[in-house]
Amino acid sequence: MSVDNLEPSEFSPRQNAVLEQALQLLVDGGEKALTTSGVARAANCSKESLYKWFGDRDGLLSAMIAYQASKVRTFERNGERLTSASLHDHLVVFSKDLLEVLAGDVSLALNRLAIGQSHRDGSKLGKLLLERGRRQIDRRAMGLIDSGKRAGLLRFHNADEAYHTLYGLIVSDLHVRMLLGEPGLKDTARQAERAVCAFLRLYGTEKVLAEMPLVG
């Protein structure tokens, strides 16, 4: 099976450990450090195992990006009935994870590398970041807000518009500023809480609004 068809949940703990090593190599040494030989040495595995698990270098990059994106958690427990409180909590977890992942050395390195390669013919990193990173996060988060609507807790006509409102409230221009070298937020939990409360004020039903926590 192609690595592009695999979800990070299908990777073994050993494979996840290898991906962590590969991501760290990228942060420490840039694109030139990301070779199959380098990853094999850092992760103490064979190049044959790397090819078996991830395919070529593009497959490895795809798996690295998907694994990094999987650190942004969303509502995925089948059969759970959402309440006002649990919807709020799931949204806050998503928002905090998103901020912390975007502010991390790994994501900043991947995005800076993709921006640096954007003028090159045949560069695939930007496309991989969109398809295996951002869109996977978007898909899971939209599943959460769709579940909120089905539970009678959110009201909107366009799920894509509602989600991108949430994303904008969470991230604002923070990611751009961090890519340019500014430090990240000192209190991601507070920013996440404020963004979620603003989102729920815009899209929450009366039940949700009545039970919302107050945030200064």
- pLDDT tens sequence across 202-213: 999 998 988 876
Superfamily of domain 13-71: Homeodomain-like (1.10.10.60)
Task: For residues 156 and 146, give the distance between their C-alpha atoms in angstroms, rounded to a whole number.
Answer: 10
Q: Does domain 84-211 have CATH number 1.10.357.10?
A: yes
Task: For residues 6 and 52, give the distance between their C-alpha atoms in angstroms, rounded to a whole number.
Answer: 13
- Indicate if the pLDDT at residue 166 is higher than 60: yes
- Indicate if the pLDDT at residue 159 is higher than 90: yes
Provide CB contacts within 8 A for 85, sequence distance 6+: 211
Write the pLDDT tens digit of every residue in 85-137: 999 999 999 999 999 999 988 898 888 888 887 666 556 778 888 888 899 99
CB atoms within 10 A of CB 62: 25
Task: For residues 99 and 128, give the distance between their C-alpha atoms in angstroms, rounded to a whole number.
Answer: 20
Q: Where are the domains of the chain?
A: 13-71, 84-211
Q: Which range (108-117, 159-168, 191-200) has the least confidence?
A: 108-117
- Indicate if the pLDDT at residue 139 is higher than 70: yes
pTM of the model: 0.85
Task: For residues 79 and 171, give the distance between their C-alpha atoms in angstroms, rounded to a whole number.
Answer: 30
If one compares 111 and 201, the residue with the highest pLDDT of the two is: 201
If one compares 199 and 30, the residue with the highest pLDDT of the two is: 199
pLDDT more than 90, % of the chain = 49
- Indicate if the pLDDT at residue 200 is higher than 60: yes
If one compares 214 and 171, the residue with the highest pLDDT of the two is: 171
| Chain center to CA of 121 | 26
pLDDT on residue 61: 87
pLDDT on residue 141: 93
Residues 63-84 have a mean pLDDT of 83
Q: What is the DSSP letter of 154?
A: B
* DSSP three-state, residue 20: helix
Task: For residues 214 and 168, give the distance between their C-alpha atoms in angstroms, rounded to a whole number.
Answer: 21
- Indicate if the pLDDT at residue 26 is higher than 90: no
